[in-house]
Structures are given as structure tokens and as C-alpha cells.
Structure 1
């Protein structure tokens, strides 16, 4: 079943890639016309504005829209364009010019693939129906030669298509992505922000622990002390025994509250048995039925397991307390160098990503350079997903 799923996934990726390259080749023909008109418009503007206006507004807007369309095509069909944005019309024009030969090369390779498939169907179809195309009689050696040559040419063509797709992604990142200095500045800003968010998250966690201890364990201990004091002052042996029995029960409840607080702070099973065992404990303790699909077959880095655990724990807790969910589905899988954590419930939706719990999760995830998404329309379902680097 898993092999079948992987094969289906590879076929889907291949078909999306072919569609992306075909759309890129078709778009290149439109962009050729645009670039010719843009060159005439820029020349006209340069001459009649005496060099003050080199890129007319219409040309700039068209270049930005075309570049954005190409970026969306890469994101949807060719594996993503990476960290791009904030580029101007000149960089967009440069990108459109540089991608033309790459796009046309992809179109030629797709045409060769279609032509080869058509030729193979014609040739082998004729042999199977007893008609030798062009008088070529099939012999075992000829069939072996045609099949071998066809497979080699197919391999070369597919490798060429893979190379064109990689070149497309690299070109858009190089032309439309941030410069090294901008990337460093953005990274410094992200690290400064995430550091401040981690400090806030730690302080929020400390306040939560203090509330749990004050409202739970401390109240239990106060009640226990009062029961023991009343038992000591009582002159009635039966009354003293009853009070001591109540004190013993209160001590058991205090221990349960203390274990609950300790488990919420950090479960021991996470270090000893791993993320899967810790999540199974979450499912067992949840008042809402929880189904867990766990994909990784290895131990993940400890920080990644910790953040993934708290994402699941908080999402399950929110589903039980606020959404009225009847079931929660948790899915953990590795996708390349990323660990994907997805929690979906069938509750009423309307979760606020800026709320205390989810905002704290976002800060935890950001501290690992991950991303947290919350999709919770009114009426549900609520989907909380996190992507954590685990390479």
C-alpha cells in the first residue's frame, strides 16, 4: 500500500512538472510579444523624456504581473519558487528576458517527448496489427534495438526536463529573490524577533505553571493541612480517623494534580520513548477520541520532537475545550527535510490564531525556523499544521 502511494505520488509530481513546463513554454510566447513591445515603449520613453523615464508605467506594471504569474506557476507546479518578493520592474524585466531560452528549451523537450511517444505507438501498433510501417519487418534484434534506443532517449529527455525545472527555480530565485545583503538583514531581523518571541513564550509558560500550581496543587495542600490540623485538635478518635481518611484522599488528589502539572510541563516519555509514545499518551488522556497516523521510522532531534509534541497537545486540548469536536485526527510525516504535523478536528471552528495558546505555539515553531498555519472557518473543520526543519 505504501509503495502504491509513493508511485502515485511520483506520477502526480511528474504530471504537474510536465504541465508546469508546458505552461511556461506557452507563457514564453506571450512574453516575447510583451518584451518586443516593452523595448519599443522604453525606447520611446527614453527619447521623449530625455532620459528621465526609462521604464513606462504600463511596461513596469506588465512586467511585474507577468513575473508574478511565473512565480505562482512555479509554486503550484514545479516545487516552489523559494523566498522571493520585493523586486522592482527592472528585475522583473531581466527575469522575463533570461527565462525565455529556458522556457523554449523545456517546450522543445516536451515536443520531443510527445513525438517519441507517438512514433513508438505507431511503430509497435503497426507491428502488432501485422502491418510493418515503411516495410520494416520486426525481428527480435530490431525490436531489442528499438526498445533500448527508445528507453535511452526517453531517459535523456526526462533528465533534460528535470534540469529545465531546476533551472527555472534557480533563475527565479536569482532574479527575483533577495540579494545576499537583503537575505542577511532579513535573517537577522527574523532571529531577533524569534528570540524575543521565545522569551515571551518562556514567560507565558512560567505564568501558566504558576497558575496551575496556585489554583490546583496549592489549594489541595492547603486543604490537606487544614484536615490534618483538625484531626490533631479533635478529641474524638472516630472523628480523628475520619479526618485522617479525608486527608489521605486529599493527598492522593494533590499528587494527581502535581503529576498533571509535571506532565504538561514536559512528559518524561518524550525523552525515554520518543514522540510516538508521548503522542499516544496524549490520545489516551484526551476526552475526545484521537487518531494518530505516525510516519517517521526514526528518532527525530529532541527540539523538533518537543515542539511537535506541544503543537499536538495544545491543538487537542483546544479541540476538547472550545470547539465541541467529536474526533481529532493527528498526522505526523516527513516531507524531505521537514517534519509536517497536521491536526484536524470536526468541531465548530472559529479558532483565533492570535489567541494565547496558538500564539505561543507559533512562537515555539518560529524558534525552530518552522511555520505554523491555522485554518478554522466558522462551522469547521479546524486544521492546525506545522512544518519543522528536521534535516
Structure 2
């Protein structure tokens, strides 16, 4: 019973998604035809994002039903040339072709299985009602023959009972097959929406090797920055303190007033050095994360943001320290970019924990047009996320809005 109820839920959602998939497939067909003469360039990005979201939702449903993870095979190219060039490059990708093939296949299979699973019980109820009324009318001599749903004419009581029995049997058969129908939809997603194992593993090995190299490079750069900050800042100031105290020691007997001034300068220099040391420590691991956790630290960042900031935290509890630090610096850098470059009047930060992953979304209503190559810290955000096998997605059309989405795997 549970499997059947679960199958009905899957088929109901799939029926609606199937209609949407069919429309999306038609939109791709129109775009492909428009691309032949070079039109439709602006539609590639929005339609690709919509298709990616639709396919991701179907993979999630299939994963929930089967318990098997489905890595994405859909990675469309939306930049770099006109419509015809984009069409050629994308059609050369196997994952792109399989995703486009899934759209009409799912658009046909999902509504058909939904109608079979949901429509047949209604058909049986109608047959029982009509046949029952016919039997009552036949007993009084006022019944007229009628056509059954099995394409034979009912003009006698045995045929009426046969039509009722066949409908009930077919309904029971379909009711039993509902879990199989649901698995059929999931199997279609596994076949067309999931990256094949060998190419996927090869890509993952290459991707992990690249992110590991980037993480090591970033770690080395961070160590060099810390060494430089200590050498040029705190270390130089501490040397000045030692020098000032040495001069004070020599002038103590013959000029006490001058000695007191030197000691005050040494104290001020030591205070500045301590402040710089605290700044270096905060750049390594912010103490506020230890004291208040990620929720409190992000709230403090939002409160210090010079632009009005709307903050939404969902199910955010304590996470591994490295993940919290990465999330904190990603949000801090994103808010800094908004304040410096966007010209926005409002920035929205959303952080939520979901399915063992920490999802971060920072969006603003500014001028848009942000690019990683512009040196605004976006490349650093991506490196921080990829060091944890995370993902970063930037959406920033000219005129805005700009949205940065980061995803970090973590164990809560």
C-alpha cells in the first residue's frame, strides 16, 4: 500500500512535469530552427537555465524514489559566439543531446502513465454506475443496449456483469502496476539525465585534481600573505618597540621626560601591533565563528553591510569549522563586492542547510555585468568553494540583478 501511494504521488507530480517538459522541448525546437539563420541568441541562457532546473528536479525525484544518486549530464554552453555556433557546440555534447531527448520522452510517458493510473479508477466507477443502472432497468424492462469501454455492446445481464468485472480487474491490475510506472519514469531519468559512470568518473578525477591544485595554490598564497602581513606589519612594529625601549633605557637617567615620551610611543606602537595581529588572526579564522557560530557571524556581516541587507537563515546550525569559515568568507567577499561595485540599493542573503549541503545565495538589485575575470574577488569565492568540492554559480546580466549561488557539502 505504501509503495502504491508513493507511486501515485510520483506519477501525479510527473504528469504535471511531463506537460512542462513537452513545452520545453517545443521551445528548444523553435530555438534550434531560429538558430539556423542566426537568430535567438538571447534565449540560450534563460532556456538553458530553465531546462537545467527542470532536469535537476526530475533527478531529485528519481533519486528519492530509487535511492541512487544521479550526477548531472546537462552542461550547456551559453556563451562564446552566435546562435549557430552555440547550436553546433551544444549538439556535439552527449549530455546535451540526451537531455533534449528526455524532454519529449518524459513529456509523453509521464502524462500517459498518470492518466492510466488516475483515469482508470474513474472509468471503472462510471462503468459500475452505468452497468448497475442498466441491470436495474433491464429488470423492469426499460434498459437500452450501450457500448462498454471494451468495445462490445451490452444488451444482456451477463454482458453487463462482464463489463463490470473487466473494468474492476483492469483497475486492480493498473493499481498493482503503479509502482512499476513510477520506476519506469525514474529509469528514464537514469538513462537520459544521468552522466554515464566511466566518463563521469574520469571527469570527476580531472575536476578533483584541478580543484586540489587550486586549493594548494590558494593555501600557499594565503601562507605567503600571512607571512607578508606579519613581516611588514606586526614584526616591524615590534622591532620598533624594542628600538624605542632601548633608546628609553639609555636616556632614563639624563632625560626622564624624554624617556616617558619614548615609553608612550612604544606603548602605542605595541597597541597598533596587537591590533594588526588580531587582524591577521581574524583573516585566518574569525573568532566570531567560535563564539556565535555561522548564524551569528553571518548576522553580524549583514548588520555591518553599508547597503540595506535582508537576511534569511534556514536550518543553519553548527557545521565543521572549515566549512563555516569558507561560508563566512564567501558571504563577506560577496557583500564587499556588492558594496564596492554594484550600485545596489538592497542586497539579500539566504543561507540554508539541506540534504547535507550548505547553500548560500547572495543577490542584489544593482547594475549587473559582474565577471570573474574583472578581479572583483569572484574567482577567490569559486576557489574557496571548489576546495570543498563545492559549486559556485554567478548570474549577472547587464542591468542586473546579480546573484551568486554557492553550495558547500558538509556533515551536520
TM range (shorter): 0.5 to 0.7
Which runs of no fewer than 5 residues in structure 1 stay unpaired? 1-12, 30-67, 123-132, 136-151
Distance in structure 1 (CA, Å) of the matches to 2:268 and 2:116:
81
1:221: which partner in 2? 238
Kept in 2, the 8 Å contact 1:373–1:385? The answer is: yes
Aligned partner of 1:311 among 293, 308, 330: 330
Which runs of no fewer than 5 residues in structure 2 stay unpaired? 1-9, 27-47, 61-69, 75-89, 127-131, 135-171
Kept in 1, the 8 Å contact 2:346–2:365? The answer is: yes
Report the alpha carbon displacement of residue 95 of structure 1 after superposing the two structures with TM.
9.4
Kept in 2, the 8 Å contact 1:102–1:167? The answer is: no
* Per-residue deviation, residues 326-356 of structure 1 (Å, max 9, x unmatched): 6543211123343211123455544431337
Report the alpha carbon displacement of residue 374 of structure 1 after superposing the two structures with TM.
2.4
1:260: which partner in 2? 279
Report the alpha carbon displacement of residue 103 of structure 1 after superposing the two structures with TM.
5.6
Distance in structure 2 (CA, Å) of the matches to 1:326 and 1:26:
37
Aligned partner of 2:204 among 187, 202, 209: 187
The 5 Å alignment of 1:59-78 reads 74-75=54-55, 78=58
Kept in 1, the 8 Å contact 2:73–2:96? The answer is: no
Q: TM-score, normalised by structure 2?
A: 0.59
Report the alpha carbon displacement of residue 83 of structure 1 after superposing the two structures with TM.
2.4
Kept in 1, the 8 Å contact 2:385–2:392? The answer is: yes
Shift in alpha-carbon separation, 1:102–1:164, aligned structure 2, 3 A: farther
Query: Of the two structures, which has the highest relative contact order with CA contacts closer than 8 Å and spacing of 6 or more?
Result: 2
The 5 Å alignment of 1:133-152 reads none
SS of residue in 2 equivalent to 1:274: helix
1:203 and 2:220 aligned: yes
Q: TM-score, normalised by structure 1?
A: 0.61
* Per-residue deviation, residues 171-229 of structure 1 (Å, max 9, x unmatched): 2146xx33x32222212211211111111110221232234334432453355445445
1:83 and 2:72 aligned: yes
1:247: which partner in 2? 266
Kept in 1, the 8 Å contact 2:241–2:269? The answer is: yes
Distance in structure 2 (CA, Å) of the matches to 1:94 and 1:293:
37
Aligned partner of 2:348 among 320, 326, 329: 329
* Per-residue deviation, residues 22-78 of structure 1 (Å, max 9, x unmatched): 25578999xxxxxxxxxxxxxxxxxxxxxxxxxxxxxxxxxxxxxx9x976842763
Report the alpha carbon displacement of residue 20 of structure 1 after superposing the two structures with TM.
2.4
2:112: which partner in 1? 108
